[in-house]
Amino acid sequence: MTRSRGRGAREEPRASLAAFLSFLFPGLGQAYNGERALATILALPVLAIIGTLLIVVLVARVGVIARLLDARFLIGLVVLDLALLGWRLVAIAQAHLRRRPFAARRWTTWATAGVLVLTLVMHLVPAWYATLAIDTLSTVAADTGDPGGDSGSDEGFDPLPPPSEQPEVTRGERVNILLVGVDFAPGRTTELTDTMLIVSLDPETGKTSMLSVPRDLYGAPLPDGRVWDAKLNSLMASANADPGQFPLGGPGTLKATVSELLDVPIHYFAAINIIGFKQAVDAIGGVDITNERLIDDPTYWNEFDVHTGFYLEPGVYHMDGSTAVAFARSRHGAGDSDFTRSDRQQQLLAAIADKVTAGNVILSLPSLLDAVKNTIATDVPESRLPEMAAALQEADTSAIERAVIQPPLVTPSSDPVSGYILIPDMEGIRQLADELLGDGGPTTTAR
């Protein structure tokens, strides 16, 4: 009896070793146990999956990255991940049971249980990430590109043109997106679009450009032929409040008006919440910014409407979300204006693009996805996001052409109702827009 217990004790570790080998790769534990046929059955499907993934990654690396913004692709990954999880759990448990049954008094049982838990974590965490991404995509983007389709956001976006009238990014057609910053900070009673800029991507050349439109621009041409005799930053809120006068709705009216102003197509619209923007910058670990001139704004109120002031000397900084927001919003320092602020906003967006496309945000993915979900709303159809992401991956974000519409393209003036306003030089503005966003070629001088 004593000899039998001793022989059993010597044999016990083999059960956990076999389980661990099948944890490393399904079938290895079975091969260790002498079950070669079963080892082959368990290993072949996994080998096929790994081989397929390697081929896809090597052949179409950019396409794979873009597909991570495709909800259907992500759902497929979740299903594959859970199927592989089940396959591995069966292989691990069978390898152990071939040697020894599970028993609470045996340490080998607990060792194999630990391996099983580790396997669960390895698969459930990526599945959770993918589920978060699917939820974010459905919240941020419109779920259809067809007329009359419902928007996936709460911004009240109106139907887009049919897909045939939207840019075919995969065929190298340029896409222009109107990006607006909307301040939903506590204590604010209005939702003015104090930040308005167009981000343009030319997939054929890989060039990207930005053009900022001043918030105080007065007399912009509306899409129905009327003129907006007020500051441009008030148009979206006014259009949202009066659908009878503005049947395109707030975002649709602003997008069409900016298109008329610049005489270039504006294909899509995206709104950014200032509080969520701070969270997004923090989620990616901050951004690196070179501040080229002294910022000394004692009047600055932060994103929570607290009077803090903002001071920043020239130099290179790694900014957290709160500092980045102040860098993008401050405008009352000596020598500062809406125009210098617009330039800093473009600089900040370029820095964010560099950080995100660097592929170093995996560990912060849950918080980043949550921040994006609460930060951005867009009418870009969800089905179009993958191709746009692919084009962005191939674009040269380190050499973004940037310009701000400022004097002499606008002339400062005043209005009894609106106060300080900017009168546009329509011809000059449209020439600049054509150079940056249309087919006029690259800019030749800084503006």
Q: pLDDT tens digits for 379-434?
A: 888 888 888 877 877 777 777 899 999 999 999 999 899 999 999 999 999 999 99
Q: What is the pLDDT of residue 91?
A: 97
- Residue 312, classed as helix, strand or coil, is strand
Q: Are strands 401-404 and 207-212 parallel, antiparallel or unpaired?
A: parallel
**Whether pTM exceeds 0.95:** no
> Element (H or E) spanning 273, and its range?
strand 268-273
- Residue 191, classed as helix, strand or coil, is coil
pLDDT-wise least confident of 6-10, 311-315, 432-436: 6-10
Mean per-residue pLDDT, 33-54: 92
Can you state the angle between helices 107-140 and 71-99, rounded to 10 degrees? 170
Mean per-residue pLDDT, 10-29: 89
- Per residue in 224-247, pLDDT (tens digit) is 999 999 999 999 999 999 999 999
- Residue 258 contacts residue 180 (beta carbons within 8 Å): no
Mean per-residue pLDDT, 346-368: 72
pLDDT above 90 covers what percent of the chain? 49
Q: In the predicted model, what is the mean pLDDT of the chain?
A: 84
- Per residue in 116-134, pLDDT (tens digit) is 999 999 999 999 988 988 8
Neighbouring C-alpha atoms within 13 Å toward the C-beta of 256: 21
- Residue 217, classed as helix, strand or coil, is strand
Asked if residue 5 has pLDDT above 50, the reply is no
Cα end-to-end distance, the chain, whole Å = 93
- Residue 433 contacts residue 403 (beta carbons within 8 Å): no
pLDDT-wise least confident of 55-64, 165-174, 323-332, 365-374: 55-64
> Which residue, among 257, 266, 263, 268, has the nearest Cα to 440 in the 3D structure?
263
pLDDT-wise least confident of 45-49, 218-222, 327-331, 438-442: 438-442
Q: What is the pLDDT of residue 151?
A: 35
